[in-house]
Amino acid sequence: MLTRYSGLEGIYFTKILKTLIEVGDLHRRRVLDFGCGVQGLRSLLTHDNYVGYDIDPRLSYVATTEGVQYDIMVVNEVFYEMTPAQISHTLDTIRPPLLLVGIGRKGLLNTLGALLLHSDAHADYKTLPKQEMEILLTRYRILKKKGVWFLADVYLMQRI
């Protein structure tokens, strides 16, 4: 789902992006932003070692991730829109050695925020956060974790 955020949502998503940059040390790495959307992450990076990939070809730097040179793949609030089988296939096909993932908690605070700010924010969930982590942990180990205002978690993960 392509979204441009403003107001409180914009503040929240900017905080997530800044947390991704911090946890993944993205200012020093070549970044593949999987599901880049409007490339909010790109706008906050201090270098040009960035490739955005999105299912919408109008938003992508590349038509496929094949052959893209990168140090870390960022997947921020994207996997929930995919089925478990699609997530597994993506991870097994691309096989990023380092993965930086932003996952919404889908807890009470998220639900209240969705009701107040964006009523359909949780409508597109095909995979719940717990399922997402189960899939990730069969292929990756957590190197670092940081929460974002009790609403999301950012994980730096290494392929096992």
CA distances from 77 to 30, 117, 137 (A): 20, 17, 17
Going by C-alpha positions, the residue among 61, 69, 19 that lies closest to residue 44 is 19
CATH of residue 11: 3.40.50.150
- Residue pair 124/114 in contact (Cβ under 8 Å)? The answer is no
Look at the block and give the residue holding tokens 């994980």.
155
Q: 158 by DSSP, 3-state: which?
A: strand
2 domain-assigned: no
How many angstroms separate the CA atoms of 43 and 83, rounded?
29
Q: Which domain holds residue 101?
A: 7-159
Q: Has this prediction a pTM greater than 0.95?
A: no
64: left (phi over 0), alpha (psi -120 to 50) or beta: beta
Q: How many domains does the chain have?
A: 1
CA distances from 137 to 10, 71, 124, 155 (A): 30, 20, 23, 11
Residue of 19, 51, 49, 57 lying closest to 33 (CA atoms): 51
Q: Which range (42-51, 59-68, 95-104, 111-120) has the least confidence?
A: 111-120
Summarize pLDDT for 4-17 with one digit per residue, the tens. 566 767 788 899 99
Specify if 105 maps to a domain: yes
pLDDT tens figures, 76-92: 999 999 999 999 999 99
Judged against a pLDDT cut of 60, whether residue 69 lies above it is answered with yes
| Position 30 in a domain | yes
For the chain, what is the largest distance between any 2 Cα atoms, rounded to a whole number of angstroms? 43
Q: Is residue 80 part of a domain?
A: yes
DSSP secondary structure, 92-145, as one string: HHH--SEEEEEEE--SHHHHHHHHHH-TTTTTT-SS-HHHHHHHHHTTEEEEEE
